[in-house]
Amino acid sequence: MEKAWWKESVVYQIYPRSFKDSNGDGIGDLQGIISKLDYLKNLGVDVVWLSPVYKSPNDDNGYDISDYRDIMDEFGTMTDWDELLAGLHERGMKLMMDLVVNHSSDEHAWFIESRKSKNNEYRDYYIWRPGKNGKEPNNWVSFFSGSAWQYDEATDEYYLHLFSKKQPDLNWENKTVRHEVYEMMTWWLDRGIDGFRMDVINMISKVEGLPDGQQQEEGGYAWGGDYFLNGPRVHKYLQEMNRDVLSKYDIMTVGECPGTSVEDAQRYANSEGTELNMIFTFEHMDLDAGPGGKWDMRPWQLQELKEVMSKWQYDLEGKGWNSLYLNNHDQPRMVSRFGNDGEYRGKSAKMLGTFLHMLKGTPYIYQGEEIGMTNVQFDITEYNDLEILNMYEERVTEGGGDHAKVMEAIHAKCRDNARTPMQWDASENAGFTTGIPWLRVNPNYQEINVEQALADPDSVFYHYQKLIKLRKQHDVITYGTYELLSEKHLQIYAYTRILVDEMLLVLNNFSAETADFRLPQNIQYKSAELLISNEHTEDELAQSVSLTPYESRVYLLKQ
Ligand code: NOJ
């Protein structure tokens, strides 16, 4: 396995709207981020992934871009952005920008032109179709509820939008569109950025004819994913992008790829480097989703987590590279979802961090994870995210569904769980803003905040700092091969990582009860050093280990 800086890095994701407000308008901004660069340096992360900061009408908080080469007014100016990049580089950190090119905003100049007339030179930048029998061109449902098509009176046709109707899909079949995108990427790379996170990049190639989805849902729409996820020409386009742009720079790339199997990932993230460095898989994020999708909740099972994580670890070994995450701006907080956000909040947050950072791949920390931030339970009127609001309207306001049941799903799964303002201190609005925050602050900010975490040597923050430091000290954390140990154990997820004569033994108790682990006989070693734990435990490794609730330990064994 070849060495690379992006394999040895830890990434920190910033959702700028919620990170730090510098001017009191209640919205996070670039100067706010700049004021926290020393904090990030202290944590020890190598790369910052910045969720979109481009010009945007904010229908989907920046994931609807109206100008790819400028900064959103609320966030600041290009001069602020230059200062941010320089500030990161001065401190030895890198910057990864978000690339959102499956769709643009409907307020992008290309779309404004495109909708004007059928023979406009930008018409073919987007996916326009005439209606069928007075209805939409096909039955695809949008990710944000309702049809994936919007009728446009000016030309009596519909345009495709897999996300909101203010996010028209770009037509990647059009060579000019692809070249516009590559030029824009080059423009940012030449400004000195260090990589791209690519938004839903596995949706850019749609099956010709855009066939109807097979399984109709209520309302007559159907999931069309079979015809746009990992579509027929997606690898061709990514190889072209790689050849024309990516391969010319020493950068890091990660593709967001929902609905992707590990076989697909072997191509996207292949070790020859012809496409991307790594992708975000969603298989582990779907473990608590029932047949009805995200809002159809079921409890996740440790056995299934082991199966899914192990499959990705084994099947990408030597063939590709994993990204490691348990939450981001689209997912609930990991401690609330996979840990215990009550009695064992700090301890389980550390266990989850250890579990993830010791796997093989590049770890991603989402802002606030490093202090163990938790989910919220707001009233429907207090939410902002269009995914929540559209779904609630469709199911409850219009559909007459059960308010309490829908709210239960929202509390557990909604994206605003991750988007509440970063909790900096115990002062009003958690020190995020002096104004009125755009989204309500989590009411637990007086107990959970950065100031408190920095003052407590036993905090989640310092545990993460240590995890990151360890990665720099022991190659086995980056390059060792993975093996699952505790396949059948109902509470413990244990695994090893092996590199030449070194072995990491990683033990994690995922339950609120004590659990016993027996060391397999074939694990032989001359010395065992406890590298990190979330419990004040004896250093010694015994044949039988009793783990307290949510305890985790990592031993370095030497032959
Ligand atoms: C994935 C992004 O992470 C999410 O926040 C966004 O809503 C959709 N893609 C559409 O861009």
Kindly write down the DSSP assignment for every residue of 157-187, as one continuous string: EEEE-SS-TTSPBB-TTSHHHHHHHHHHHHH
Confidence (pLDDT) at 222: 95
235: Cα separation from own chain's centroid: 22
Pick from 397, 398, 439: nearest CA to 415? 439
The CA 199 to ligand 1 mean position distance, Å, reads 6
Residue 529: active-site member = no
Pick from 486, 452, 467: nearest CA to 353? 467
Decide: 143 in ligand 1 pocket, CB within 6 A. no
List pLDDT tens digits, range 510-534. 999 999 999 999 999 999 999 999 9
Confidence (pLDDT) at 305: 98
Average pLDDT over residues 206-218: 91
Average pLDDT over residues 107-118: 98
Whether the pLDDT of residue 219 is over 80: the answer is no
Decide: 88 in ligand 1 pocket, CB within 6 A. no
Whether the pLDDT of residue 217 is over 90: the answer is no
Region class of 133: left (phi > 0), else alpha (psi between -120 and 50), else beta: left
Confidence (pLDDT) at 371: 99
Confidence (pLDDT) at 98: 99
Could you give the CA distance from residue 164 to residue 502 in angstroms, rounded to a whole number? 50
- The atom of ligand 1 lying closest to the CA of 415 is 5
Do 5-102+175-380+416-464 and 480-558 have matching folds? no
Confidence (pLDDT) at 267: 98
- The atom of ligand 1 lying closest to the CA of 330 is 5
The CA 330 to ligand 1 mean position distance, Å, reads 7
The residue nearest atom 6 of ligand 1, judged by CA position, is 63
Confidence (pLDDT) at 475: 98
Whether the pLDDT of residue 1 is over 80: the answer is no
Decide: 100 in ligand 1 pocket, CB within 6 A. yes
List pLDDT tens digits, range 373-395. 999 999 999 999 999 999 999 99
Decide: 551 in ligand 1 pocket, CB within 6 A. no
Confidence (pLDDT) at 537: 77
Whether the pLDDT of residue 270 is over 90: the answer is yes
Decide: 63 in ligand 1 pocket, CB within 6 A. yes
Q: Give me the chain's average pLDDT, please.
A: 97
Could you give the CA distance from residue 415 to residue 412 in angstroms, rounded to a whole number? 9
Decide: 387 in ligand 1 pocket, CB within 6 A. no
Query: Any idea which architecture 480-558 has in CATH?
Result: Sandwich (2.60)
pTM above threshold 0.75? yes
The CA 282 to ligand 1 mean position distance, Å, reads 13
The CA 359 to ligand 1 mean position distance, Å, reads 26
Decide: 199 in ligand 1 pocket, CB within 6 A. yes
Decide: 330 in ligand 1 pocket, CB within 6 A. yes
CATH topology assigned to domain 109-160? Oligo-1,6-glucosidase; domain 2 (3.90.400)
Whether the pLDDT of residue 22 is over 90: the answer is yes
Domain 5-102+175-380+416-464, CATH number (from 3.30.450.20, 3.40.50.170, 3.40.950.10, 3.20.20.80): 3.20.20.80
Could you give the CA distance from residue 341 to residue 343 in angstroms, rounded to a whole number? 7
Confidence (pLDDT) at 536: 86
Secondary structure E strands in 246-306: 252-256, 278-280, 289-290, 293-297
**Pocket-testing residue among 49, 51, 60, 105, ligand 1, by greatest number of atoms within 8 A of Cβ:** 60
The CA 75 to ligand 1 mean position distance, Å, reads 19
Task: Say which amino acid occupies 290.
Answer: G
Residue 256: active-site member = yes
Could you give the CA distance from residue 419 to residue 441 in angstroms, rounded to a whole number? 9
Confidence (pLDDT) at 215: 84
List pLDDT tens digits, range 119-160. 999 999 999 999 999 999 999 999 999 999 999 999 999 999
Give the long-range contacts of residues 347-352, CB within 8 A, separation 24 or more. Answer: 347/534, 347/535, 347/549, 347/550, 347/551, 348/550, 349/460, 349/463, 350/460, 350/463, 350/534, 350/552, 351/508, 351/509, 351/510, 351/534, 351/550, 351/551, 351/552, 352/326
Confidence (pLDDT) at 539: 72
Could you give the CA distance from residue 294 to residue 414 in angstroms, rounded to a whole number? 9
The CA 30 to ligand 1 mean position distance, Å, reads 20
Decide: 461 in ligand 1 pocket, CB within 6 A. no
Helices (H), 358-490: 386-392, 403-413, 416-419, 450-455, 460-473, 475-479
The CA 257 to ligand 1 mean position distance, Å, reads 11
List pLDDT tens digits, range 61-86. 999 999 999 999 999 999 999 999 99
pLDDT above 90 covers what percent of the chain? Answer: 97
Catalytic residue among 256, 283, 385, 387: 256
Do the beta carbons of residue 298 and residue 339 sit within 8 Å? no
Decide: 288 in ligand 1 pocket, CB within 6 A. no
Whether the pLDDT of residue 538 is over 80: the answer is no
**Pocket-testing residue among 103, 200, 279, 285, ligand 1, by greatest number of atoms within 8 A of Cβ:** 200
Q: In this structure, what are the phi and psi dihedrals at residue 412, rounded to the nearest 5 degrees?
A: -80, -35
Decide: 163 in ligand 1 pocket, CB within 6 A. yes
Residue 18 DSSP code: G
Catalytic residue among 59, 74, 199, 341: 199
Could you give the CA distance from residue 423 to residue 442 in angstroms, rounded to a whole number? 8
Confidence (pLDDT) at 370: 99
The CA 64 to ligand 1 mean position distance, Å, reads 9
The CA 14 to ligand 1 mean position distance, Å, reads 14
Could you give the CA distance from residue 121 to residue 113 in angstroms, rounded to a whole number? 8
Decide: 338 in ligand 1 pocket, CB within 6 A. no
Whether the pLDDT of residue 218 is over 80: the answer is no
Domains of the chain by residue range: 5-102+175-380+416-464, 109-160, 381-415, 480-558
- The atom of ligand 1 lying closest to the CA of 102 is 11
- 105 confidence band (pLDDT: 50, 70, 90): very high
Query: 540 or 440, which is more confident?
Result: 440
Confidence (pLDDT) at 506: 98
SS3 content of the chain, % helix, strand, coil (to 5): 35, 20, 45
Whether the pLDDT of residue 508 is over 90: the answer is yes
